[in-house]
Amino acid sequence: MSEDIVECYCGDDEDDGTMLYCEKCKKWQHAVCVNWNTFTMPARYICPTCLGINIDCICGTEGDFQHAVIQCSKCHNFQHKRHVGFGIGKNPPYYLCSSCSSNYSGGRNLKIDPILSFFPSFNEKLVPVSVSSIMSANFQIPPGRLLNKLKELTYPITPVNLASTIFMSFKDIIFRTHPTVSYFEYQKDGNHFKPRENINDTLQFIFYSTKAISLMSNISVPQVLQVYDHMSSLLIYKRAIPRSFRAKVDPDPEESKDDEIEASDRADDYVKTKLKPLFFKKPENAALEVVAGRNAYPTVISKQNIREGEFICSVYGYLMDFEEIDQQSHVPDFLTFNVARSNLFVVSSKLKNSPIFLHIRRGLVSNCEIRLFKTSIKGTKKKMLCAGIFATQSIILPNLISYSPADSEKVAIYPGEELVLPFDIAPIFIKPDAEWKYVTDNNEFTDAVIDFDSFKPIKPSQVKADYNTDFKPPDVEILEEYFETSNQKSNQVGETTLQGLFGNSLMINFIIDSKKGKKNDDDDQEIEHLHKTFPRMVPDDTMRCKKSWGFPKYEYNEDYKNPKHLEYRNEWKKICPPIHEKKIKPVVYWNDDPNQFDDVNDKDLM
């Protein structure tokens, strides 16, 4: 058979653009028609037909391999992600199509840290939990699951564990709608865009929950949001442990060809047809600094006032359509950045150095975003496509900000304030029908006014930019997830919600890595009782319904002594007797003044 045969799924047999050669059937196909590009091209290519990929989708297009597909774990047929409720993000490890979702079982492991000891300044003491502090402040919470959950919490608890308990119980509310459905679609209101109704409900939940936790634990609303942000990052992203706090504002010239963004064919077509990049002279970077964040990861702060719409720093990598990004990995890469209000992503995982933008954290309250722009090539009339981070006003949910001109007088980021990018995608596993309040026609809380000023980011303590450490976060817990086979009735999934993944309840059980504790000779105190004070991280009742998670009760290990996650911070000496044999030096010690750092010596742990 001739090796010059072009036989593509699009029906066009002409050589056009990047071509792929199937090693099995000896035919050429357009790379874009099988969802490959020059950045993701495989070393050996076998076409979908030779691989036996059978598309059985509701769209009825069996030969459309240009859009990302997902495979049913039981019948092994493929469907287009966009037609079964998925959008931006990686494929889940197990997916069941609608016809196979009633009698399948499987399992996987997911690493997560539900106890959250990354915030020592919040964890110094246990506080009694009671809704009386909310009542005394005349703060009314809409009746429903959130209020009921807060009333159930009556035992002493640390502020962080209180916040993480609420987050883990209601994470489906925070990410109740997938980004491709809500973040990228707007409702026109005169000359302004406003969020969809379901996003307004999410905004209200964040407002009421963070305010309630703040009143109950005596920590600020921005600090509660930091716990939410940290838990969200653990649920969404795959992130390497930071090796250094050193970072460069600009990468090596060899790695960024004249600062230009390399774009795939699909991304380039999208830019030309749907985006109108802004034209700039070469902008100058703002004065930035890398410091240690409250969750022990590096973060970036500004050293000057940055106005709304002002350029902050460049972003480097490959520009791709979201469907071109590797869909086989189950956990998204932290080095993948969404271009605001578009289906494009900048993939920076191939960079060899550590440019400063890689250290900007993600959060529910963002004050900057990534945009495309064009600059003139020196000595020519040509324009080159670039990407950069621009300041925006703080907003809870990402990608809902209209562009503000660079000459705006409003300061968006102040000196010492942390830069926060929006979350790019939602977690894979969320329930589409999550609710947190009772909704009635006369619900007085439906149109509640949200105090956005209370959501302004707080300033992290200053640390020198060249601060280096070999610190590694404590071992995370193992979250085992498994399915149970059962026959359940089918529930219809709304078009504007994330398609459910499973037909059976997904059970969760925490397995905590612990070691035997020793007795303290000084005060004759045992550590064994400590496990009784740790919060339940999941709802007490097991929920069983179509396409949803089921949560069993949190089972504590009776031998849960001397927890590792307390060893590396100074709360070890305040909560547990000094019985550990190996002393671990912490990175920083957060004292009562959050604007200062003190060095910690080994003797401080004794």
Name which of 96-105, 248-257, 317-326 the model is least confident about.
248-257
- Residue 135 clears pLDDT 80, i.e. is over it: no
What is the share, in percent, of the chain residues with pLDDT greater than 70? 50
Helix 159-174 × helix 197-217 angle, to 10° = 170
Give the residue among 397, 386, 348 at the shortest CA–CA distance from 194.
397
Distance CA 34, CA 521 (A): 68
Distance CA 479, CA 235 (A): 11
374-432 residue pLDDT tens: 877 777 777 788 889 999 876 554 434 433 444 446 788 888 888 988 887 767 666 65
Average pLDDT value over all residues in the chain = 63
pLDDT confidence bin for 117, thresholds 50/70/90: very low
Q: Please give the pLDDT value at position 142.
A: 84
The DSSP call for residue 309 is T
DSSP-derived 3-state class of residue 473 = coil
Which token pair is 594?
Answer: 């959050």
CA distances from 301 to 253, 287, 290, 378, 460 (A): 25, 9, 6, 31, 8
Looking at 296-343, which runs of residues are DSSP E strands? 298-302, 306-307, 311-315, 318-321, 336-338
Give the domain 257-422 fold. Answer: Beta-clip-like (2.170.270)
Distance CA 88, CA 508 (A): 25
- 19-21 and 28-30: which strand pairing? antiparallel
542-576 residue pLDDT tens: 222 222 233 233 333 333 333 333 333 333 333 33
- Residue 324 has a CB neighbour count (10 Å cut-off) of 25
Cβ-Cβ contacts under 8 Å for 583 (sequence gap 6 or more): 602, 605, 606
- Residue 214 has a CB neighbour count (10 Å cut-off) of 23
- Residue 91 clears pLDDT 60, i.e. is over it: yes
Contact 555, 510 (CB under 8 A): yes
167-222 residue pLDDT tens: 888 887 777 654 444 443 444 455 444 455 566 677 778 888 888 998 888 888 88
Q: What is the mean pLDDT of residues 311-323?
A: 86
Helix 145-152 × helix 159-174 angle, to 10° = 160
Distance CA 30, CA 254 (A): 30
Cβ-Cβ contacts under 8 Å for 348 (sequence gap 6 or more): 315, 316, 317, 335, 336, 337, 355, 357, 358
Contact 466, 407 (CB under 8 A): no
Which token pair is 393?
Answer: 């006003």
Confirm whether pTM is higher than 0.75. Answer: no
Name which of 10-14, 334-338, 515-519 the model is least confident about.
515-519
Q: Please give the pLDDT value at position 5.
A: 79
- How many C-alpha atoms does 583 have within 13 Å on its Cβ side? 12
255-309 residue pLDDT tens: 444 467 888 888 888 888 877 777 777 677 788 888 877 666 778 888 888 888 8
Residues in the chain: 606
Distance CA 465, CA 457 (A): 20
- CA 98, 104, 106, 112: dihedral to nearest 10 degrees? 50
Name which of 76-80, 240-244, 250-254 the model is least confident about.
250-254
Q: Please give the pLDDT value at position 247.
A: 57
460-490 residue pLDDT tens: 654 433 333 333 333 333 332 222 223 333 3
Distance CA 512, CA 475 (A): 10
- Residue 456 clears pLDDT 80, i.e. is over it: no
Contact 37, 68 (CB under 8 A): no
Name which of 331-335, 453-457, 507-511 the model is least confident about.
507-511
- Residue 514 has a CB neighbour count (10 Å cut-off) of 15
Q: Which residues are paired to 278 by β-bridges? A: 373
Q: What is the mean pLDDT of residues 232-239?
A: 75
Q: Which residues are paired to 481 by β-bridges? A: 108, 508
Q: What is the mean pLDDT of residues 37-65?
A: 78
Residue 320 vs residue 193, higher pLDDT: 320
